[in-house]
């Protein structure tokens, strides 16, 4: 067997497995808020910006409209966001956070510290890891 095909020699596998583990760390905290991890990501963008287009949201979260549309529909049904077509251009859909969605921000404030505690990494290690991951992420995006 080629060394290149061994699972332990792959870069993709530990990244994939880590992504699943980190998402699992979030799950009990998000369950208390009635949120999925992707919904939490959407809300984090909206807590910062209050209103964004679907296109902008997709760019920020690295999600396509086929993934975002059903996610946003569920969030709208749950009263967290409001979707509105632009009056200037019907092709543009704006996503606005509702009061109910804003109220979850206060409840979610403790989540980052709880996740950090679960990871058992120092602040410096987290900063460096995030830098390296973003470097890889944006490098691969440039290849598209």
Count of domains in the chain?
1
pLDDT, tens digit, 9 for 90 and up, residues 78-119: 999 999 998 899 899 999 999 999 999 999 999 999 999 999
Q: Which two tokens stand for residue 99?
A: 């009061």
Q: Which domain holds residue 25?
A: 3-142
110 Rama sector, left if φ>0, alpha if ψ -120 to 50, beta otherwise: alpha
pLDDT > 80? residue 144: no
pLDDT > 90? residue 26: yes
Q: Binning pLDDT at 50, 70 and 90, where does residue 142 land?
A: low
What is the rounded (10 degree) CA torsion for 71, 76, 77, 78? 90
The values of phi and psi at residue 129, to 5°, are -65, -45
- CATH number of the structural domain spanning residue 24: 1.10.10.10
- In DSSP terms, which residues pair with 53 in a beta bridge? 94
pLDDT > 90? residue 62: yes
Instruction: Kindly report the average pLDDT of the chain as a whole number.
Output: 93
């Amino acid at each position: 067997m080629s060394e290149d095909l061994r699972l332990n020699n792959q870069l993709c596998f530990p990244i994939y497995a880590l992504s699943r583990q980190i998402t699992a760390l979030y799950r009990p905290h998000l369950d208390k808020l009635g949120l999925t991890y992707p919904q939490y990501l959407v809300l984090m963008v909206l807590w910062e910006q209050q209103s964004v287009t679907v296109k902008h949201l997709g760019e920020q979260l690295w999600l396509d409209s086929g993934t975002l549309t059903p996610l946003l529909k569920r969030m709208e049904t749950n009263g967290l966001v409001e979707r509105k077509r632009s009056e200037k251009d019907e092709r543009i859909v704006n996503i606005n956070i509702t009061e109910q969605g804003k109220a979850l921000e206060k409840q979610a404030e403790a989540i980052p510290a709880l996740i950090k505690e679960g990871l058992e990494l120092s602040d410096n290690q987290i900063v460096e890891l995030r830098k390296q991951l973003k470097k890889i992420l944006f490098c691969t995006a440039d290849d598209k």
